[in-house]
Amino acid sequence: MTLLAALQACDMLLIDDLHCFDFHLDDDGLMAECMDGRQLRRWQFSPQQIAAAQGEGEQWRLDGVQGEHRLVCMSALRAPDEDHDEQDLHTPA
């Protein structure tokens, strides 16, 4: 699997040990940001950097402007939609 394929299938990233839900992948590459305490952290990777990423198990190493970064593609756990999953309490079973 390539990093591009992993990014297209995930909905959460772990970048340099920070959980990142706010990311966007398009023809210009990957843009991601998250809050680290009070500091807003931003990353941007070009399509060439994504293609050159080295995979080590579930972790990827990318070279960025600020040096090397570690990235893990993850699927976030989602709670079921309560409106559709719970039986109406007013309707007898």
Percent residues over pLDDT 70 in the chain: 81
- List, for residues 10-22, the tens digit of each pLDDT value: 999 999 999 998 9
The domain spans of the chain are: 3-76
Mean pLDDT on 66-72 = 91
Answer yes or no: CATH 2.30.29.190 is held by domain 3-76: yes
- The average confidence (pLDDT) of the chain is 85
More confident residue, 77 or 73: 73
pLDDT grade for 80, boundaries at 50, 70 and 90: low
Contact 35, 18 (CB under 8 A): no
Q: Report the pLDDT averaged over residues 33-53.
A: 94
